[in-house]
Amino acid sequence: MSMFKWDLVHPAPGEAVGPRQRLPWGKTVGLGAQHVVAMFGATFVFPLVMGLDPNLAIMFSGICTVLFLLVCQNRVPSYLGTSASFVAGVAAIRAQHGDSADVTGSILVAGVVLALVGLLVHFSGAGVIHKILPPAVTGAVVMLIGFNLAPVVAGIYWPQDQWVALLTATFMVCAAVLFPGFWSRIAVFLALIFGYVVSWLFDGIFGQIHSITGSSNGQQIDHDRLSWSLVKTADWIGFPSGKLADGVSVVHGPSFSLTFILLVLPGVIALIAENTGHVKAVAEMTGENLDPFMGRAIAADGAATALASLFGGSPTTTYAENIGVMGATRVYSTAAYYVAAAVAILLGLCPKFGAVVSATPGGVLGGITVVLYGMIGLVGAKIWVENHVDFGDPVNMVGLAAGLIAGIGGVTLTFTDNFSLSGIALGTILVIVYFHMVNRPHRTGGHPTATGPQHLGADEVTRAL
């Protein structure tokens, strides 16, 4: 069967549609658009908080989704949206005065490393990953990635408008838990709209706010919460262009620094967990054996991340929100994902649309990120619980402790005036080294910690949404 031939089916109510099947094209287009809405909020939020261009991110999300589907031979339905796994590393790079080229260069290297891991898994099996990165270790790394971001919310986004942030966070929590069905899965997107409207109303009712902004270097100034000055001048059709907040061009080449690369490499661990969990979740829903495609999925995500970063785009990952859409509709057709990719590429070619998103007030981002970042950290705990990690075993209790505190607390280990390890990079190294240093089968009264399959990683936060 040709890779681009899907069997047309007319399923009875409740009957599933497989990856190599499709509904009539009219319904397929509708489902594709639904997938775009599902991934939309997070795919735009994470580039904004990383200081990258959301329009470029959405365009490359479509391009990278097509790449993923091709590498996986249309057997693994998935949408590649912007990854949250590198947000903490990017925040650390910018805290050390790195610019957007340093950010994308570091992420590009991480993407290449992930692609190499995928090749290793493809030819040697997933067992080698589970031995090096058991659930105890993966959960710890995901946890420190999320909780390391707390100062970013407290110091950058929340102070821009605390009341809008509080209202947006409250709405997002309620929407994610209390809204029915599909609406709860797009809680991030709905929170963006809610915060946008509240900021516009507050500008009309209360006037300008005196606070910091994303470009005021911590100085409090009078400013509108919502400014559409750039929206008015943006073109309707065109490639992403212009300058980012740090003066780097939207489309730019990468810059490489070993110090900065080490800050984002822990995100690779989270992406391995995410892709592994995604493939297993899809296999469980479709009833197909997708283990032979595990390595392909990981390698494809790595290649996609490297490709996007090469041009200044955002890192990618398989999106849990779209698993939710598939679970609700029972339509797993990869044809719908090609439609979603095409829609995303078209949106990316509308600069005015991107300008609207880029105008999202800082207070809105504060409300969204205070929830999202906390959820990323708690996903680490979820990995522990779902894999029955025993903290009565000192291997887990003591072996992970130092790395967690070093990573979350920002401990620094200085080697020379020009090179040091700190935060997530140091924490991840300590977690892996200390855990394997003491996790020995012959320990008296001890036992090796389970190294079985782990569940979704950092971007599973949005599966609850």
Mean pLDDT across the stretch 151-170?
89
Q: Are residues 434 and 301 in the same domain?
A: no
Q: Name the band, by pLDDT with cuts 50, 70 and 90, for residue 285.
A: confident
Q: Are residues 397 and 284 in the same domain?
A: no
Q: Which of 143, 152, 90 is nearest to 404 (CA)?
A: 143
CA 293-77-115 angle, to 5 degrees, is 45
Q: Are residues 381 and 396 in the same domain?
A: no
- Is the predicted pLDDT of residue 186 greater than 80, yes or no? no
Last residue of a domain, one of 368, 389, 410: 389
> Partners of 8 in the beta sheet?
22
Q: Are residues 268 and 305 in the same domain?
A: yes
Predicted local distance difference test score (pLDDT) of residue 328: 67
- N residues, the chain: 465
Q: Are residues 374 and 403 in the same domain?
A: no
CA distance 194 to 240: 26
Predicted local distance difference test score (pLDDT) of residue 217: 66
For 122-142, the pLDDT digits (tens) are 998 877 777 888 889 888 888
Last residue of a domain, one of 358, 389, 420: 389
For 392-418, the pLDDT digits (tens) are 999 999 999 999 998 888 888 888 776
Cα 353 → chain centroid: 21
> Does residue 249 or residue 386 have the better pLDDT?
249
Q: Are residues 427 and 313 in the same domain?
A: no
The neighbour count for residue 302, using CB atoms within 10 Å, is 26
Q: Is residue 1 part of a domain?
A: no
Predicted local distance difference test score (pLDDT) of residue 257: 92
Q: Is residue 447 part of a domain?
A: no
Q: What are residue 88's phi and psi, to 5 degrees? A: -65, -40
Q: Is residue 61 part of a domain?
A: yes
For 54-100, the pLDDT digits (tens) are 889 999 999 999 999 999 999 889 899 888 788 888 988 998 899 99
Tokens of 340: 């979603």
Q: Are residues 330 and 401 in the same domain?
A: no
CA distance 267 to 265: 5
Q: Which domain holds residue 394?
A: 390-440
Q: Are residues 192 and 90 in the same domain?
A: yes
Q: What are residue 17's phi and psi, to 5 degrees? A: -115, 120
Average pLDDT, the chain: 84
Q: Is residue 186 part of a domain?
A: yes
Q: Are residues 378 and 424 in the same domain?
A: no
CA 80-31-331 angle, to 5 degrees, is 85
> Beta strand 316-318 with 80-82: parallel, antiparallel or unpaired?
antiparallel
CA distance 272 to 267: 9
Q: Name the band, by pLDDT with cuts 50, 70 and 90, for residue 221.
A: confident
Continuous H helices in 96-226: 100-124, 127-132, 135-147, 150-152, 162-178, 181-185, 187-206
- Is the predicted pLDDT of residue 163 greater than 90, yes or no? yes
- Is the predicted pLDDT of residue 308 greater than 50, yes or no? yes
Q: Are residues 435 and 377 in the same domain?
A: no
Mean pLDDT across the stretch 175-191?
82
Q: Name the band, by pLDDT with cuts 50, 70 and 90, for residue 457.
A: very low
Q: Are residues 363 and 405 in the same domain?
A: no
CA distance 69 to 58: 17
Predicted local distance difference test score (pLDDT) of residue 436: 92
CA distance 81 to 71: 17
Among 154-168, 284-298, 354-368, 442-456, which is the least confidently predicted range? 442-456
CA distance 349 to 336: 20
Predicted local distance difference test score (pLDDT) of residue 465: 42
Cα 312 → chain centroid: 16
Q: Name the band, by pLDDT with cuts 50, 70 and 90, for residue 180.
A: confident
- Angle at which helices 135-147 and 87-95 pack, to 10 degrees? 50
Q: Is residue 445 part of a domain?
A: no
Predicted local distance difference test score (pLDDT) of residue 303: 96
Highest mean pLDDT among 33-47, 153-167, 369-383 belongs to 153-167
CA distance 7 to 122: 28
Contact 84, 70 (CB under 8 A): no
Mean pLDDT across the stretch 302-327?
86
Predicted local distance difference test score (pLDDT) of residue 446: 45
Predicted local distance difference test score (pLDDT) of residue 324: 67
Q: Which of 38, 362, 371 is nearest to 181 (CA)?
A: 38
Mean pLDDT across the stretch 337-344?
92
Predicted local distance difference test score (pLDDT) of residue 291: 81
Last residue of a domain, one of 348, 370, 389: 389
Q: Are residues 147 and 217 in the same domain?
A: yes
Number of structural domains the chain divides into: 2
Q: Is residue 318 part of a domain?
A: yes
Q: Is residue 296 part of a domain?
A: yes
Cβ contacts of 403 within 8 Å, gap of 6 or more: 140, 144, 426, 427, 428, 429, 430, 431, 432, 434
Contact 315, 110 (CB under 8 A): yes
279: exposed, middle or buried (C-beta count within 10 Å: 0-12, 13-18, 19+)? Answer: buried
Q: Which of 398, 391, 384, 403 is nearest to 438 (CA)?
A: 398
Predicted local distance difference test score (pLDDT) of residue 314: 94
464, amino acid identity: A
Predicted local distance difference test score (pLDDT) of residue 455: 45
Element (H, E) at 317: strand 316-318
Predicted local distance difference test score (pLDDT) of residue 27: 86
> Beta strand 7-8 with 21-22: parallel, antiparallel or unpaired?
parallel
Predicted local distance difference test score (pLDDT) of residue 132: 82
Predicted local distance difference test score (pLDDT) of residue 234: 81
For 50-63, the pLDDT digits (tens) are 999 988 999 999 99
Cβ contacts of 154 within 8 Å, gap of 6 or more: none
Q: Is residue 452 part of a domain?
A: no
Predicted local distance difference test score (pLDDT) of residue 2: 66
Predicted local distance difference test score (pLDDT) of residue 390: 93
Cα 226 → chain centroid: 26
Q: Name the band, by pLDDT with cuts 50, 70 and 90, for residue 222.
A: confident
Q: What share of the chain has pLDDT > 90, as a percent?
A: 33
Q: DSSP label at 449?
A: P
